[in-house]
Amino acid sequence: MKVDKRTLIRWKVYIDRSKMYVGYINLFMMVTIFIGAIKNTDIGKFLLSNIYIAIPVLIVVFIFCALLLGYWDSKLGIRSEEMRNLSLQNPVQREILLTVRELKEEQATLLEKIKTLENKK
């Protein structure tokens, strides 16, 4: 059985894109397991007896924590550093990056030549 390389790459992209949705399912399952684990404790009994108050509060706390983590990630630059490292490992993106660097160097050289020519006038 011969499998086309492009087909395998397309399948990989589909799987990578589905990871976000699988993460949502995973989050729901973890919350369900967490509630099941704490339902016999004092905190769990309190949360379950006041579920109409607890759920909105927990959602707000979750959103706050997610925003805080995202803020820290932005300030520390963890994701951008990760993307930079990944783009350096990708041969196509690396070639594009090298070409852009060469163009910038050539542009700087041409601008210097233009300035010297203008100064001679």
Q: Sketch the domain layout of the chain as residue ranges.
A: 79-121
Percent of the chain with pLDDT over 90: 16
pLDDT tens-digit readout, 69-102: 888 888 888 878 888 777 778 888 888 888 999 9
Q: Which amino acid, one-letter code, is at 28?
A: F
pLDDT tens-digit readout, 94-111: 888 889 999 999 999 999
The answer to whether the pTM exceeds 0.75 is no
**Distance in angstroms (rounded) separating the CA atoms of residues 108 and 104:** 6
Confidence of residue 1 (pLDDT cuts 50, 70, 90): low
DSSP class per residue in 25-86? HHHHHHHHHHHHHHTTSHHHHHHHHTHHHHHHHHHHHHHHHHHHHHHHHHHHTHHHHHHHHH
Q: What pLDDT, on the 0 to 100 scale, is given for residue 58?
A: 85
